[in-house]
Amino acid sequence: MGRHGTIAGRKESQDKRRAALFTKYARVITVAARDGGDPEYNIALKHAIDKAKGINMPNANIDRAIKKGTGEIAGEVYEEMIFEGYGPSGVAFVVETLTDNKNRTTASVRSSFDKYGGNLGTPGCVSYMFNRKGVIVIEKTDEIDGDELMEAALEAGMEDMQEYDDSFEILTDPNDFNEVKDAIIAAGYKPVEADIENIPNMESEPTDPDDIKNLKKMFEVLEDNDDVQKVYHNSSVSLED
């Protein structure tokens, strides 16, 4: 089980939410920079910067976020919080956040679940339904030979590759993610997405139209929350359109 939705749909969503994404990625950079401001010696920071550049975040924003993390300029202190729960039709959700106010974030996430027919659960209540994997997405074009891409990724240590109508999705162990990503780029391929994500190992199949509508709205509201970094779900129906 892999990615839901199309690359075009995700790009459209990113364009609509670009300002909000800048805020989210700046927080990730700030937190990563606590362990050092030089991306050559801080893999987490390098990864965060690469993601920010992938959505064309200005260098000035990136530099300011790094300096907040290293303490060169004053900034908020962010902490990670992870929420788990169920949406309508029993769809499992994992919500990753970075926040400078735990009470505000908890109240906001809980409200998003409650408003659209879900319920927030306890830690571990749904995380067993997901596997942590490195995910590298390559857009499918006439110039890309799937067998050659698979060979390059296999040599670098990938676990699996799935083919979709518009893309190839390469899965790795989280520990091998950076090595595989760098090898694929060195081989001449440009990922449109590359991150360590929670991949569902079992899916829920909502069929009720009202539940699907509420699931999509709940997903959208959570994604639009500045404190929320990632929203994972195991719905067999795409919630991103």
Per-residue pLDDT of the chain (241 residues; tens, 9 = 90+): 445 566 666 666 666 667 788 899 999 999 999 999 999 999 899 989 988 998 889 999 999 999 999 999 887 889 999 999 999 999 999 999 999 999 999 999 999 999 999 999 999 999 999 999 999 999 999 899 999 999 999 999 999 999 988 899 999 999 999 999 999 999 999 998 899 999 999 999 999 999 999 999 999 999 999 999 999 999 999 998 6
d(CA 49, CA 57): 9
Is residue 167 included in any domain, yes or no? yes
Is residue 2 included in any domain, yes or no? no
Is residue 49 included in any domain, yes or no? yes
Report the number of distinct structural domains present in the chain. Answer: 3
What was the pLDDT predicted at 151? 93
Residue 1 one-letter amino acid? M
Is residue 107 included in any domain, yes or no? yes
HSE (CB half, 13 Å, CA atoms) of 214? 20
One domain for residues 89 and 189:
no
One domain for residues 91 and 196:
no
Q: Assign 200 to helix, strand or coil.
A: strand
The residue count of the chain comes to 241
What was the pLDDT predicted at 213? 97
One domain for residues 207 and 113:
yes
Contacts of residue 134, defined as CB under 8 A and 6 or more positions apart, other chains included, come to 170, 171, 172, 173, 174, 176, 177, 180, 181, 194, 195, 196, 197
One domain for residues 116 and 210:
yes
One domain for residues 14 and 104:
no
CATH code (residue 53)? 1.10.10.200
One domain for residues 63 and 109:
no
**Alpha carbon 24 to chain centroid distance?**
11
Domain span at residue 169? Answer: 129-200
CB 239 within 8 A of CB 7: no
Is residue 1 included in any domain, yes or no? no
Is residue 238 included in any domain, yes or no? no
What was the pLDDT predicted at 135? 95
CATH code (residue 146)? 3.30.70.980
Is residue 100 included in any domain, yes or no? yes
Contacts of residue 27, defined as CB under 8 A and 6 or more positions apart, other chains included, come to 65, 78, 98, 229
CB 44 within 8 A of CB 178: no
Q: Residue 12: enclosing H or E segment and its boundaries?
A: helix 7-16
Q: Identify the residue whose tokens are 């939410």.
A: 17
